[in-house]
Amino acid sequence: MTKKLKINKIPTHKLSLSICLLLALTPMSCNNPANSYTNKRPPALLKKLQPEAEKIIQQAISDNDPQIQTKAIEVIADTEQTKLMPKVLNSLKSSSVPVRFSAALATGDLKYQPAKKQLSSLLQDKDKNVQIAAAFALYKLGDKEKIKLIQKAIEDKNQTLRANATFLLGKSGDKTSLKPLYWVMRNENSSDAVSLQAAQAIAQLRDEKIYSKIWTMLISTYANDRLMGARAMGALGSLRAKNALLSMLNDNVLEVRLAAAEQLGKLNDNLGTPTVIEVFQKNLLQQRDIQDQIRVKVLTALAIGQICDEKLTKFLPKLIKDESNFVRIAAAKAVLLCINKTKSQNIP
């Protein structure tokens, strides 16, 4: 028996902070306006902020809070800070499951060969989520048979394991995973969260047939679904997906507009720039509680890190000094991403 894609019943004010800190996908050009940094050296402001950004990530990976460690590891992978990989390698021995999971992912994303022995031992980890993260990393390191372990885990009754397996299959780039991903998305035993994660994973594998399913996320009455839908459209990366993201710049929820701006930035389109600027010029953080402010600042920093327009990076010095660890980490990520983007554009 199959089911329709379900929509999470999450009110606007309950948008998750954890959702706001993840996912850097491979950009895909769609005849977008050129980024303002093209053929330039990194602006002086970014060079000035680079040491502080690197220090923030170095401190975060040694933080006592596993959530802070996890975010630091994600940034190390997303910004290719290979000099910090020995610290990530040490995190594979952490007592925290999320930290071990993220560390395994980072070793796979950066194809860090020195981790291979430890990853093999993690295939016997006491937590199945860590096992499949290790399988993903070994797959990325060349052991293509390990994808089968993740595809098998997608059938598990445990919804957390099923969701993580779905997420990993999307990241794998393995087209043979499309069939199990469609199965788990439609399976009546999959939770709403798993079904939505499966749709995003299918989009990461660039299967255009998933477009209509993602569109149902964008028209949901719940902001969290629309935010996830924006990320899925960014992953899909097609012209239709880009046009859908443009329409989300008019969403009535700021967090969704910022997510759309970020995804457009990943597609080398800076049309979300005014959306980010209005956060500062219109004082949109007023009348919000502390957690709401942190969430918006994180999303704002992530959007800046993908758009990298000089009209936006001027706000990074303030964000990188924020009281919140999460905001500082997101701002540090933005600095490092923009520097990396500039370097890649200067390659002959």
Alpha carbon 105 to chain centroid, angstroms: 12
Q: Which domain holds residue 315?
A: 12-345
Report whether pLDDT(69) > 50.
yes
45 inside domain: yes
SS3 state at 212? helix
Report whether pLDDT(43) > 90.
no
pLDDT band at 344 (very low <50, low <70, confident <90, very high): confident
pLDDT 10s digits, 302-323: 999 999 999 999 999 999 999 9
Q: Is the dihedral of CA 260, 16, 130, 163 positive or negative?
A: negative
User: Looking at residue 252, what is its pLDDT?
Assistant: 96
pLDDT 10s digits, 84-100: 999 999 999 999 999 99
100 inside domain: yes
Report whether pLDDT(21) > 90.
no
User: Looking at residue 343, what is its pLDDT?
Assistant: 78
Q: How many domains does the chain have?
A: 1
User: Looking at residue 8, what is its pLDDT?
Assistant: 44
5 inside domain: no
Structure letter (DSSP) for residue 188: T
6 inside domain: no
Alpha carbon 280 to chain centroid, angstroms: 24
User: Looking at residue 166, what is its pLDDT?
Assistant: 98
27 inside domain: yes
| Rounded distance between C-alpha atoms, residue 179 and residue 168, angstroms | 14
**Exposure b/e, 296-308, CB count within 10 A at least 16 = b:** bbbbbbbbbbbbb
User: Looking at residue 23, what is its pLDDT?
Assistant: 33
Report whether pLDDT(37) > 80.
no
| Rounded distance between C-alpha atoms, residue 338 and residue 147, angstroms | 32
As a whole number, mean pLDDT of residues 156-183 equals: 97
pLDDT band at 346 (very low <50, low <70, confident <90, very high): low
3 inside domain: no
As a whole number, mean pLDDT of residues 327-344 equals: 94
- Return the CATH number at 241: 1.25.10
Report whether pLDDT(4) > 70.
no
Instruction: List Cβ neighbours of 221 (8 Å cut-off, separation of 6 or more).
Output: none
As a whole number, mean pLDDT of residues 292-297 equals: 96
Report whether pLDDT(267) > 50.
yes
1 inside domain: no
The size of the chain, in residues, is 348
Dihedrals φ, ψ of 6, to 5°?
Answer: -90, 155
| Rounded distance between C-alpha atoms, residue 114 and residue 129, angstroms | 22
User: Looking at residue 25, what is its pLDDT?
Assistant: 29
Structure tokens at 197: 């994660």
Report whether pLDDT(27) > 80.
no
pLDDT 10s digits, 217-266: 999 999 999 999 999 999 999 999 999 999 999 999 999 999 999 999 99
CB 325 within 8 A of CB 60: yes
User: Looking at residue 32, what is its pLDDT?
Assistant: 41
Q: Which residue has the higher pLDDT, 73 or 33?
A: 73
Q: Is the dihedral of CA 332, 19, 288, 67 positive or negative?
A: negative
Report whether pLDDT(28) > 60.
no
| DSSP helix, strand, coil percent of the chain (3-state; round to 5) | 70, 0, 30
Q: Which residues pair with 2 in a beta bridge?
A: 187
% residues pLDDT > 90 (the chain) = 84
Report whether pLDDT(345) > 80.
no
74 inside domain: yes
